[in-house]
Amino acid sequence: MNEKREQPVLVQRRWMVAAQKIGAPLISASLAVVVGSLIIWASGYDPRAAFIALFEGSFGSPKAIGDTLLKATPLILTGLAVAYGFRAGLFNIGAEGQLFLGGLAATWLGLSLAGLPWFLLIPLMLLASMLAGAAWAFVPAILKARIGAHEVITTMMFTYIGRYLVSYLVIGPLKAPGQIPQTAELPDAGQLSRIQALFSEATLASFEFLKLGRGHLGIVVAVLAAVLVWFVLKYTTLGYENRAVGFNPWASQTAGISVQWTTVKALCISGGLAGLAGSTEVMGVHHRLFDQFSSGFGFTGIAVALLAKNHPIGVIPAALLFGALAAGAGRMQFQADVPQKIVLIIQALVIFFVAAEEIVLWFIRRRQKEAVSHAG
Amino acid sequence: MLGDIITPDLFASALRMATPLALAAIGGTICERAGVVNIALEGIMLTGAFFGTAMVLLTGSPWLGVIAAVASGAGISAVHAFASINLRSNQVISGTAINLLALGLTGFLMELWYGHPGTTDPIKVLRPIFNFESPGGGAIAEAWRWFDSIVFSHTPIVYLTILIAIVAQVAIHRTKWGLRLRALGEHPRAVDTVGVSVYRGRWVAVLMSGALAGLAGANLTIEQVGSFTENMTNGRGFIALAANIFGRWTPVGSYLASLLFGFADALQIKLQILRGVVSIPPQLFLMLPYLLTVIVLAGVIGRAVAPAAVGEPYEKG
C-alpha cells in the first residue's frame, strides 16, 4: 500500500464506527418491530392498522406528541439510571423500586411543606426524590461492594419491598380521606406545569403545535439530566472512574481507583436518577401518590439504556421510541383491537436483538482490524 | 397467640411454598454449574404457569397441563440458550429479555385467548395423593395430626421435587455426566479439549433448568392457586436464584434454602389470615420473603463461591 491510501482508510473507519453506533440500534429496533408485526399478523390482527393506530396515538397530533413526551419523561430518567450503572459494570434492574421511593419522598415533602413557594418547593421535591432513590440503592450498593452480593437479586428484592412500602403508606399513614387508597393532592406550587399552560390562549390559537395536551415540564428536567450525566461521564473524574471501573475493574484497582467506592457511588447515582423519575411522574402527571403510579418505567428503562448503548444523549431518542410505543398502545388496542401487551413483547425483542447484535458488530470490527492489519 | 401461628398447617404450607422456589433453584443450580447464568427463571416459571393453565383449560387434564408447563419452560429457555451459548450475548441481558418477553407474551395470549386481562377461569387442580382418616382424641392423635399434615398432605409435584433434589444431587456429584457439567462451569476449555462439546453440554443444562422452572410454574397454578394471574410469579425466580446461592450451587442445598424462604412465605400468609389477632399491616408481611432474601445474601455471599466460568460465553478455540 502506498502512503496516500492511509488517510482515506482512517477517515472511512471513523465514519463507519459512527454509522455503526447509530445504525446498529436502528437495525435492532427495526427487527423488533418486524417480529412484533409478525406476531400481530399471526394472532389474526392487521399489523398495518395496528401501526397506523400506534403512530396516530403517538405522533399523529400535538396532543399525541404530548402523550409521547409524557411517557418518555420517566423513561429518559430510568434509562439514564440503568445506563449509568452499566457504564460502571453494574446492572441496576431495580430502578422501578428506586422510582417508587422517589415518588414517595417527593409526595411526602410536597404535602409536608405545602406553604412554600414553587421555586423552593419544586427543587426541594426533586432533590428529595433523588436522595430517596439513592438511599434505596445504597444497601444493594454496599452489599455489592463489600461482599459481592449480586445487584440483580438485591435491587430486585428492594423493588418488591419498595412497592409494598408505598402500597402500605397510601392505604395507611399517608392516605387521604375517602375510599380510594391514595394521598392528598399536591399543592399547586409542588406540581410541574403542563407545557401548554405556559402559553396564552392567543399564542396557542396561532401555534397549534404547542397544544401538547398532558405533556409537562418534567421533560425539561429529564433532558437536562441527560446532558448533565453526559457531561459527568465525559469530563469529570467521577465519570472517568465510573467508566474505568466498568471497563476493567482490575486495571482500575491497580491504577489506584477504589473499585468498591466507585461501585457504591455508581449504584447510588443510578438510584438517584431513577428516584427523579418518580418525582416527575408524581409532580407532572398524577399530582398525588398511589400504589400503581408507575407502569413499569423502571423495567422499560433497561430496554432504553440498552438501545441507547448506554450513551446518555442516546437515551433521549430511545426513550422517545418507547414513550411513543406506550403512548400509542391505547389507541392501537381501541382502534385495531390488538392487546397493548404487544408493546412489552416488542420491548423484550429490542433487548434481545441489541444483546445479540454484539456478535454482528464483533465480526464487523474483526474484519476491519484484519483489513487494517493487511493494509499496514 | 403463638399457638395460633405455630400449627401443623404452617409447616405443611412452608413445604408447599418452598416447592416452586426449589424447582427453579435446582434449575438455576444445574444451569450455573454448566457456566450459564439464568436470570430468566422468573419468566420461564411464568411461561410454564400460563401454558400449564391453558392446557388444563383446553383439555381438562391437569397432568397434560403439567407436561405443557414443562415443555413451554424448556421451549422459552431455548431462546436463552441460543442467545447466550450460540450468539454469545450477555447472559444477564438475554435473561432480562426473556423475563420481559414472558410477561408480555403471557399477557398478550391471555387477552387473545380469553378476551380479558387479569386472571383466568379456575382450572381442575391436582389433589393431594394421600387422604388418611384422622384417629380420635389424645396425644397420639395430636402427634399424628402434625405428622399427617406435614408429611402426607401434599400434592404430587411437592413430593416429586424432593425426589428431583436428591436425584440431581447424586447426578451432579456422583456421575460422569455431573463431572462434565461441573467442568463446563469451571473450565470449559478443558471439556472442549477432551472432545466433549461445550455447546451441547450447556444447551442440555439450560433446557433442563427451563423444564424445572416450567414445572415450578405448574406447581403454582395446577397445584396451589388453581388459576393463572398475570405476573403471578412475583419475584420467585429471583428468590430462587438467591436460594441457589445460599445452597452453594447444590440441589439439596437449594432445596433446604428454599424451605427457609418457603417458611417465610407461609408465615406471611398465616399472619395475614390472623390479621385480627396480630395488628400489623399485611404489606409489611408481604415484604418478609424479599427482606429475608437480602439478609441471607448479605450473610452468605463472602463464603459461597460461584462456578469459575459462570456468565462467560464460551468461544470455540
B143 touches chain A (CB under 8 A): no
Closest CA to B92 of A282, A86, A102: A86
- A341–B94 C-beta distance less than 8 A: no
Confidence at residue B317, expressed as pLDDT on a 0 to 100 scale: 63
For residues A262-268, give the mean pLDDT: 97
Type of residue numbered B169: Q
B90 touches chain A (CB under 8 A): yes
Kindly report the backbone phi and psi dihedral angles of residue B135, in degrees, each rounded to the nearest multiple of 5, phi listed first.
-70, 180
Helix, coil or strand: residue B24: helix
- Model confidence pLDDT, tens digit, residues A233-251: 999 999 999 999 999 999 9
By Cβ distance, the residue of B100, B245, B298 closest to A348 is B100
Rounded alpha-carbon distances, angstroms, from residue B87 to A351, A358, A369, B81, B208: 14, 9, 21, 9, 20
B283 touches chain A (CB under 8 A): yes
Let me know if residue B273 belongs to a domain.
yes
Kindly report the backbone phi and psi dihedral angles of residue A206, in degrees, each rounded to the nearest multiple of 5, phi listed first.
-90, -25
Let me know if residue B129 belongs to a domain.
no
pLDDT exceeds cutoff 60 at B89: yes
Chain A residues with CB under 8 Å of B108 CB are 39, 43, 339, 341-342, 344-345
Q: Of the given ranges (A25-39, A107-121, B61-75, B252-266), which has the lowest mean pLDDT?
A: A25-39
B44 in Cβ contact with B98 (< 8 Å): yes
For residues B296-311, give the mean pLDDT: 77
CATH code where residue B36 lies: 1.10.3470
Helix, coil or strand: residue A246: helix
Confidence at residue A374, expressed as pLDDT on a 0 to 100 scale: 59
Let me know if residue B127 belongs to a domain.
no
- Model confidence pLDDT, tens digit, residues B102-139: 999 999 999 999 999 999 999 999 999 988 877 777 88
Sign of CA dihedral A60, A66, A68, A69: positive
Q: Which of A28, A45, A150, A360 to probe the B interface (max B CBs under 10 A)? A: A150
Let me know if residue B206 belongs to a domain.
yes
Query: Nearest CA to CA, how far is B139 from chain A (Å)?
Result: 42
Closest CA to A278 of A160, A156, A172, A162: A162
Give the domain A46-337 fold. ABC transporter involved in vitamin B12 uptake, BtuC (1.10.3470)
Confidence at residue A269, expressed as pLDDT on a 0 to 100 scale: 98
- Domain range list for chain A: 46-337
By Cβ distance, the residue of A147, A164, A341 closest to B104 is A341
By Cβ distance, the residue of B83, B92, B241 closest to A356 is B83
- Model confidence pLDDT, tens digit, residues B43-58: 999 999 999 999 999 9
Let me know if residue B314 belongs to a domain.
no
pLDDT exceeds cutoff 80 at A10: no
Chain A residues with CB under 8 Å of B97 CB are 348-349, 351-352, 355
Let me know if residue B309 belongs to a domain.
no
Q: Of the given ranges (A74-88, A168-182, B62-76), which has the lowest mean pLDDT?
A: A168-182
- A171–B235 C-beta distance less than 8 A: no
By Cβ distance, the residue of B92, B238, B286 closest to A91 is B92
- A352–B94 C-beta distance less than 8 A: yes
Confidence at residue A360, expressed as pLDDT on a 0 to 100 scale: 57
Question: Which cell numbers in the block locate residue B269?
Answer: 400468609
Read off the pTM: 0.90
In chain B, the largest separation of any two C-alpha atoms, in whole Å, equals 71
pLDDT exceeds cutoff 50 at A4: no
Let me know if residue B235 belongs to a domain.
yes
Query: Nearest CA to CA, how far is A140 from chain B (Å)?
Result: 8
Query: Nearest CA to CA, how far is A301 from chain B (Å)?
Result: 12
Number of domains in chain B: 1
The rounded distance, in Å, linking the Cα atoms of B317 and B315 is 6
Q: Would residue A310 be called left, alpha or beta, if left means φ above 0 and alpha means ψ between -120 and 50 degrees?
A: left
Helix, coil or strand: residue B38: coil
Q: Which of B41, B92, B286, B290 to probe the A interface (max A CBs under 10 A)? A: B290
> Using H for helix, E for strand and C for coil, what is the string for A193-216?
CEHHHHCCHHHHHHCHHHCCCCCE
**Percentages helix, strand, coil for chain A, rounded to the nearest 5?**
80, 0, 20
By Cβ distance, the residue of B87, B100, B245 closest to A347 is B100
Per the structure, the complete domain to which residue B170 belongs is given by 2-120+139-303
**Top mean-pLDDT range of A16-25, A138-147, A222-231, B135-144:** A222-231
Chain A residues with CB under 8 Å of B284 CB are 164, 168
H-type alpha helices, A60-117: 62-87, 95-112
pLDDT exceeds cutoff 60 at B72: yes
Kindly report the backbone phi and psi dihedral angles of residue A188, in degrees, each rounded to the nearest multiple of 5, phi listed first.
-55, -40
Rounded alpha-carbon distances, angstroms, from residue A26 to A22, A308, B151: 7, 10, 57
Let me know if residue B312 belongs to a domain.
no
